[in-house]
Amino acid sequence: MSFQHYWYIVAESRELGRDQVLARQVLDERLVCFRAADGRATVLRDRCLHRNAPLSAGQVRQGLLVCPYHGWTYDGEGRVVAIPALGPELRQRHCLPPYAVIEQDGFVYVQLDRTAAAQIRPFAMPHYGEPGWFTLRLQNRFRNNVANCVENFIDIPHTAFVHRRIFRSSTGEKLSARVVLRNAQVHIEYANERRNLGSYRWFLNPRGLAVSHTDSFHAPNVTSVEYRIGRKVFLITSQAVPVSEQETLVYTDLTYRFGLFNRLAAPFVRRYGQRIIDQDLQILALQMDSIQRYGREFRDTPADHIHRLVDSLREAIGRGENPHDLPEACLDIEFYV
Ligand code: FES
Ligand SMILES: [Fe+2]
């Protein structure tokens, strides 16, 4: 197993219109995305077979991708179907092998290496498009790697500093959680989350009900944060797409069920979510600067055991192992926020 075997988002479905060309990069691989004549999303290496111009600088005409340099023309299977310099006598056969693509939950996913990985599917976005649920979609480019991004997305102690007051205030409260590693996932269930939800408490929890809070990590790149307060449910699901070792494109779904307030709450939820992410973008860029200069060498508190387990899954993939084979682990942690 390697990181290339997993599915990564290259675009939201709505971004890839007909006759549109998108340039993307995943795990340092340059990709060009377009829709073939039958509407299917196609992803090819962004490099023309003729003289290696980037195809993403070209155009799509009737579902065919035309290279900007000498006009070699590719179909949805990556076959060269026209070479202007040969006129009508196209006797040469050339093909740019297409990557495996799946379109699901409003996202276009690519898999860079399809060998030995038939059982891996894209992560299913929870409650996407279900009646009664509302999803807002954000995209943010982090100047940091996937490991540090996913760590941040399920890290509690930073919230009282980076998101002071907006999301959580430091009250010296003790939190306890059960952390379980199983099936290439890490699940964290917080036992005694209460009302410490910062300035948005009046909306999220006006009656001071018990807050149920679980986080999870799904190897290699998905995190999910879930709050349940009475009948209200609020989920933050993030897919961190590795662009390079210094850059991660994060697709975040804010999915919620607020009953009658679903539509009304949308602009407010979007602004709230983006404001929090902006603060994380900043601190993660600073962290990357420091790591690039001095290397990555971390020290831990009990709260960081979560991140160690997440790292252990990603490191297993990095070694070519199947993260499902890691032994199960369960531990109880306590820390203060
Ligand atoms: S480089 Fe693409 S057609 Fe020549
Ligand atoms: Fe954060």
3-state secondary structure the chain: CCHHHCEEEEEEHHHCCCCCCEEEEECCEEEEEEECCCCCEEEEECCCCCCCCCHHHCEEECCEEECCCCCCEECCCCEEEECHHHCCCCCCCCECCCCEEEEECCEEEEECCCCCCCCCCCCCCCCCCCCCCEEEEEEEEECCCHHHHHHHHCCCCCHHHHCECCCECCCCCEEEEEEEEECCEEEEEECCCCCCCHHHHHHHCCCCCCEEEEEEEECCCEEEEEEEECCEEEEEEEEEEEEECCEEEEEEEEEEECHHHHHHHHHHHHHHHHHHHHHHHHHHHHHHHHHHHHCCCCCCCHHHHHHHHHHHHHHHHHCCCCHHHCCCEEEEEEEEC
* 164's tokens: 């002071």
pLDDT the model gives residue 168: 74
Q: What is the CATH superfamily name and number for domain 134-336? A: Naphthalene 1,2-dioxygenase Alpha Subunit; Chain A, domain 1 (3.90.380.10)
Burial bucket for residue 226 (CB in 10 Å: 0-12, 13-18, 19+): middle
Residue 119 has pLDDT above 90, yes or no: no
Ligand 2 mean position, distance from CA 188 (Å): 16
pLDDT beyond 60 at 59: yes
For ligand 1, atom 1, name the residue with the nearest CA.
51
Give CATH 3.90.380.10 domain extents, the chain.
134-336
Mean pLDDT on 121-137: 96
Residue 28 has pLDDT above 80, yes or no: yes
The one-letter amino acid code at 42 reads T
Q: What is the pLDDT of residue 208?
A: 78
pLDDT of residue 201: 65
**Residues contacting residue 319 through CB under 8 Å, at least 6 positions apart:** none
Please compute the mean of the pLDDT values over residues 54-80 and round it to a whole number.
98
Mean pLDDT within 207-228: 93
Strands 7-12 and 107-111: antiparallel
Q: For residue 72, how far is its CA from the centre of ligand 1 (angstroms)?
A: 6
Residue 203: which pLDDT band, with cuts at 50, 70 and 90? low
Percentage of the chain surpassing pLDDT 70?
Answer: 96
Mean pLDDT within 178-199: 85
CA of 275 to the centre of ligand 2 (A): 10
What is the pLDDT at residue 171?
76
Written as one letter, the residue type at 238 is S
Domain with CATH 2.102.10.10 in the chain: 3-111
d(CA 25, CA 225): 27
Give the Å distance between the CA of 57 and the centre of ligand 1: 11
pLDDT tens across 161-179, in order?
999 877 777 778 889 999 9
Write down the pLDDT at residue 209.
81
pLDDT band, residue 211 (cuts 50/70/90): confident
pLDDT over 90 (residue 118): no
**Mean pLDDT score of the chain:** 93
Q: What is the mean pLDDT of residues 221-240?
A: 94
Ligand in closest contact with the CA of 276: 2
Residue 86 near ligand 1, beta carbon < 6 Å: no
- Nearest-atom index, ligand 1, CA of 58: 2
91-100, 114-123, 195-204, 239-248 — which is least confidently predicted?
195-204
For the beta carbon of residue 182, count every other beta carbon within 10 angstroms: 13
Instruction: Please work out whether the CB of residue 164 comes within 6 Å of at least one atom of ligand 1.
Output: no
Ligand 1 site, residue 54, Cβ cutoff 6 A: no
pLDDT at 195: 58
Percentage of the chain with pLDDT > 90? 83
The yes-or-no verdict on residue 277 having pLDDT over 80 is yes
Q: Which CATH class is domain 3-111?
A: mainly beta
Q: Using CA positions, which residue lies closest to atom 3 of ligand 1? A: 70
Kindly identify the ligand whose nearest atom is closest to the C-alpha of 151. Answer: 2
Question: Measured from the CB, is residue 84 less than 6 Å from ligand 1?
Answer: no
Laid out side by side, the sheet with 59-61 consists of: 59-61, 64-66, 73-74, 80-82
Closest ligand by atom to 73 CA = 1
Q: What is the pLDDT of residue 261?
A: 84
Residue 67 CB less than 6 A away from ligand 1: yes
**Ligand 1: distance of its center to the CA of 54 in Å?**
8
